[in-house]
Amino acid sequence: MCVLICFQRRALLVYPKGNSTEKGKSLSIYLKMEDFETLPCGRTTYAEYMLRVKDQLFGKHIEKKGQFTTSA
């Protein structure tokens, strides 16, 4: 199962049970740029993000910050 969340030519693809060989043991999240192919050559895109996962059963919450840069 995949959940698609769209906003301003971007989309978050969320696989609640993971998207790997370890099905059910992970959470996979991807940021998809809908217009990546149309960006001018040499254009750099920068993304800064924070992910928070709340453990409703045991209270072991996780918070991770990160950044990503790519060029067309």
- How crowded is residue 26: how many other Cβ atoms within 10 Å of its Cβ? 13
Is the pLDDT reported for residue 10 higher than 80? no
Question: What are the residue boundaries of the structural domains of the chain, listed by start?
Answer: 3-71
Tens of pLDDT, residue by residue over 21-51, are: 666 778 888 888 777 777 778 878 788 888 8
More confident: 72 or 38: 38
Q: How far is 30 from 35, CA to CA, in rounded Å?
A: 15
Give the model's confidence band at 7: pLDDT under 50 very low, under 70 low, under 90 confident, else very high. Answer: low
How many angstroms separate the Cα of 24 from the Cα of each of 18, 28, 36, 59?
A: 6, 10, 30, 20
